Homo-oligomer: A and B are copies of this chain.
Amino acid sequence: MVAERQKILASVDTDFPRWYQDVLEKAELADNGPVRGTMVIRPYAYAVWERMQSEVDARIKATGAENVYLPLFIPQSYLEREAEHVEGFSPELAVVTHAGGKELTEPVVVRPTSETLFGELMAKWIQSHRDLPMLLNQWANVVRWEMRPRLFLRTSEFLWQEGHTAHATREDAAEYATRIHLEVYKDFLENVLAIPVLPGFKTPSERFAGATNTMTCEAMMGDGKALQMATSHELGQNFATAFDITYTDAQGKVQTTWTTSWGSSTRMMGGLIMSHGDDFGLRIPPRIAPHQVVVIAVKDDDRTVDAAKQIVADLSTAGVRTKLDVRIAPGFGRRATEWELKGVPVRLEVGPRDLDAAQVTYARRDTDGKSPLPLADLVTTIPVLLDRMQEDMLASARTRLAERTTHVSTIDEAREAAKTGFAVIDWVVLGEAGEKELNRDAITVRCLQTRDGRMPDPLNPEQDLVAIVGRAY
């Protein structure tokens, strides 16, 4: 069986980039679109994305933010407010020059973000201190022309949410950005995607342009490289000053707001795949899995099929997302391999012999081996099993992160450790000069953290920080 499986995918250990491409194709997750750098998200991957959206959206709304929808098209003049776009078309922009059957007087840009529109609108919508904080979020597609596209990780068009908020004080802005970072992103990534993340600050050189502070959640992929999963920015009064986002305070005085922005994208799909996948395909944590359990009828006789259907009905009633597979054409082995590829957490195999013994056979995707399970216990056992798998997958990802993270005290040691994972080095030891030196070898500071692995307090940053260093996607 192992031999047969290994024909399907490249190996995680020996050719991770190839393995990633193989999984995308064989598990029917995504295809290249006809325009270079664009992506077709196929039903199975889109179902995962819908669950991501729903989980992240609920957390965003719990912080009090509301969703809006702003236009895809932005007048070119809006982007010219930002100095770096003044000289002609920025390479990342897609520009519409013709519409309505003729050439446009002013070209319009397909949004690379909606930042400038949020700026214009918040300036208009915010008048009084009573309008603050203004907490807005948008789910949308954005376009950044990509020279080296890679599905889910870097595509010319991607799906994301971008939040933009305005506050009366720096304290309120910092507190809110921190809340988004920890209660939305970190909580979702760890407790739903089972991906442990290192929350921290970006160094000044890695900061988002215009931000006074960029918070990041960094995760380690299966090959030891880092993936930035989400970022939140304190923009100070820079953005508010540029867009004139002011308010009249209780004393009638005009004040400038403090703003934040924060985002997460379909890149998280890439992170999910690369965090948990193994040589046999995806492994999807139960809380995000479109199908938590697949019930496979081993034979197509009425008794087996009816029993399989009954199990699906019982588990669905118990709140388990359950998929029925009673296909006749592909043999049982091929179907089992397919669900393994797709990373469905639990496979239940229903066959005549098992039914004679009033049991089914179950296989956990995250560990090897099959075991019998009495039919009578299914509805009570499976939900408990799914919870345990969720915990186990997070624990196992934490173990990998710990095993591949080395505490070092010199730049040379950091460079060595970054070959296979992360290095932790005192920020006073590394410094911006050391950071630049590592950059030459494509090694970056992923984030700065407190010595005990927490995100620094933006209002009272400790000086005693460590740098997490590694290669990154």
Interface residues of A (CB under 8 A from B): 31, 33-35, 38-43, 46-47, 49-50, 66-75, 78, 88-102, 107-108, 110, 117, 120-121, 130, 136, 140-141, 143, 145, 147, 156-157, 159, 327, 329
- Check A143–B43 contact: CB distance below 8 A: no
CA distance A120 to B32 in the complex (A): 12
Q: Which B residues lie within 8 Å of A35 (CB)? A: 71, 73-75, 108
- Check B95–A89 contact: CB distance below 8 A: no
- Check A38–B71 contact: CB distance below 8 A: yes
Known interface pairs A40-B71, A72-B38. Does A110 touch B110 (Cβ–Cβ under 8 Å)?
yes
Measured CB to CB, the closest approach of chain B to A353, in angstroms, equals: 27
Q: Which B residues lie within 8 Å of A34 (CB)? A: 71, 74-75, 78, 117, 120
* Neighbour of A101 across the interface among B33, B90, B156, CB < 8 A: B90
Q: Which B residues lie within 8 Å of A68 (CB)? A: 40-43, 46
CA distance A156 to B141 in the complex (A): 16
Measured CB to CB, the closest approach of chain B to A155, in angstroms, equals: 9
Q: Which B residues lie within 8 Å of A156 (CB)? A: 73, 99
Q: Which B residues lie within 8 Å of A66 (CB)? A: 43, 46-47
Q: Which B residues lie within 8 Å of A42 (CB)? A: 68
CA distance A35 to B96 in the complex (A): 12
CA distance A75 to B35 in the complex (A): 6
- Check A121–B40 contact: CB distance below 8 A: yes
Q: Which B residues lie within 8 Å of A69 (CB)? A: 39-41, 46, 49, 159
A72 nearest in chain B by CB position: B157
* Neighbour of A141 across the interface among B33, B50, B140, CB < 8 A: B140
Q: Which B residues lie within 8 Å of A71 (CB)? A: 33-35, 38-40, 157
Q: Which B residues lie within 8 Å of A72 (CB)? A: 38, 72, 110, 141, 143, 157
CA distance A49 to B101 in the complex (A): 31
- Check B33–A46 contact: CB distance below 8 A: no
Q: Which B residues lie within 8 Å of A101 (CB)? A: 88-91, 145
